[in-house]
Structure 1
């Protein structure tokens, strides 16, 4: 774009531009929104769409296959010793590989236990990664024990997996016949109407029987209280050994006997003097 003549003259006077040449005009690019109406749209599937990466579910399906229909349970689950527990996908995600490191104190105590109670030939010790401890397995009859079989407190029984399998194989009809799962109907649980006194008695808890120790303590306390504060009844003719009537022919008197008439009410000895007078 050419410069105005007046501006060109001033620039030439200052020596910024040659008088006979015009400065190169700087082209200012103006951005204008383009119109795409005339451009043909490409076909809907001219290009290959990018596929989203599919989630890798093989590990989840493998874990589910491990737990479903498996009476052994998951190896890392510490609850598989319970015959009513069935391992699920949660057990695998929660417990992982179980306990992998044992303390030296545990190993020392285990060796000490086996030295004191050695295993028979048909028994072997196996480490349970779920519970983090060893158990002992009989290779002949497939029985297990948490303690060595020679230990006096050892309890030898079938494994939890075998008991769980037997529990699953029992049909529901057999449970109903044997009465294991028989439940009383709701109508049988409603108590029959009773007269009010009998009903109240049935709701009251039965009296507690005193224990032998408590009974002995109660009887002993009663005897002590009787010996401490024993007072003979008024109608019982008990004579005081300090009463003159017990060792002489003097008539039996009362607490006011021997006092003057004016002193009978108060019981004060008016004949006392000195320190006795001050003490009364």
Structure 2
């Protein structure tokens, strides 16, 4: 019989008050992660934004708080849908997550799991004239239009190479992603999470067009943040045509579009506010029309 070891929760508030004494695990562009104990790490957001396409970066105070509060609220949505989330506690300016390990060593896959339900972003610009080709269901991938959700895997590059060349994340085959994680399980987790978030956000008048998840090597637990910083989300309110082209961005696309820092901050704060008010029946991403 397998007996699960009970992990005693430490006093996370005390750990936060001793932040400077916590041993660093890693510090990236958007997060500072430190070790609480053998089973937990504490994460503090860094209010940074970056766009490879626009070659734009900025530190926008307040976006870190909005990301944290969004993650806290959406974690509840995911758990209610049966999706595992590694975060175990949220504080005023931090969250605590299980310490992810493989073979006894700290390990997170260098992979992002992306779900797309609209022909926007990289595919829209990189897949030249894909709209001219009919699919097996006699539909087309039209720019800025919805489609059935699909999953892709991206290798996470640093912002720059050792010689200073700017780098972007690169799409990789499922078989390569499977060298670092259970890719089949990760695809299932990503789609389940996307459907749960889509339904909740749609009831709040928000259309979720795509999202990027960080999923552990088992493929079964989301450990990275879920916030406006890792998605494209548009506020369409209670308009009848939920899948149409109308709406205003309420996610990182605002930053990509070159908006001012104040505007970006306001859009992130607005996203948090919208999460608390349902204004329409929930919509499934699998209900999208076929465009011809």
Bigger helix fraction:
1
Radius of gyration: which is bigger? 1
Q: Larger relative contact order (C-alpha < 8 A, sep ≥ 6)?
A: 2
Q: Which interval holds the TM-score relative to the shorter structure?
A: under 0.3
Normalised TM-score (structure 1) = 0.16
Bigger strand fraction:
2
